[in-house]
A and B are shown apart, each in its own frame.
Chain A
Amino acid sequence: MTLDMNKLISEVKGFAASITVDDSGSRGFHLDLRAEFTGLKDCARILLEHGFYLSFITAVHVRPAAEVMYKFAHYEIPYNIIIRVSAGEDMRVPSIIDIYQGAAWHEREMHDFFGITFDGHRNLKHLILSREEKGLNPLIKSEKSLKSHEEIFPPKGTA
Chain B
Amino acid sequence: MSQTAAKAIHYRYFLNLGPQHPSTHGVLRLVIGMYGEYVLSIEPVIGYGHRMHEKMAESKPWPMFLPNTARMDYASPLPHQHAYVSAIEKMTGIQAPERAEYLRVITSELSRISSHLLWLGAFLLDLGAFTPVLYSFDDREYILDILENLTGSRITHCYYRVGGVLYDVDGTFVGKVREFITRLHSRFSMYKKLVEGNIIFLKRVKDIGVLPLDMARRYGATGPVLRGSGIAYDIRKAAPYSMYPKLDFDIPTGETGDCLDRYVVRIKEMEQSLRIIEQALDKMPAGEVMAKVPKKLALPPGDISFSTEGARGEVTYYLVGDGSEVPYRLKVRSPCFSNLSLLQELCEGMLLADLIATMGSLDLVIPEIDR
Contacts and interface: CB of A to CB of B under 8 A. Distances in A.
A108 to B, nearest CB: 10
B217 A51 contact: yes
B7 to A, nearest CB: 26
Given A29-B305, A152-B328, A75 B217 contact: yes
B47 A126 contact: yes
A95 interface: no
B98 interface: no
Contacts of A27: 302-305
Given A75-B233, A128-B370, A147-B322, A101 B54 contact: no
Q: Most chain-B Cβ atoms within 10 A of its Cβ — which of A25, A69, A102?
A: A102
Given A101-B218, A130-B47, A147-B328, A56 B231 contact: no
B171 to A, nearest CB: 38
Interface stretch (B204-212, B279-287, B313-321): B313-321
B206 to A, nearest CB: 25
Chain A, interface residues (CB within 8 Å), range: 35 or more
A53 B217 contact: yes
B268 to A, nearest CB: 19
A139 B53 CA distance: 11
B331 A56 contact: yes
27 contacts: A26-B90, A28-B304, A28-B318, A51-B217, A53-B222, A54-B218, A54-B338, A55-B333, A56-B316, A56-B318, A56-B331, A58-B318, A58-B329, A58-B331, A69-B303, A71-B316, A76-B231, A78-B238, A78-B239, A82-B305, A99-B218, A100-B220, A102-B341, A102-B342, A139-B329, A147-B322, A154-B302
Given A58-B331, A105-B338, 11 more contacts: A27-B303, A56-B318, A76-B233, A82-B305, A100-B219, A101-B219, A101-B345, A102-B220, A139-B58, A141-B58, A154-B302
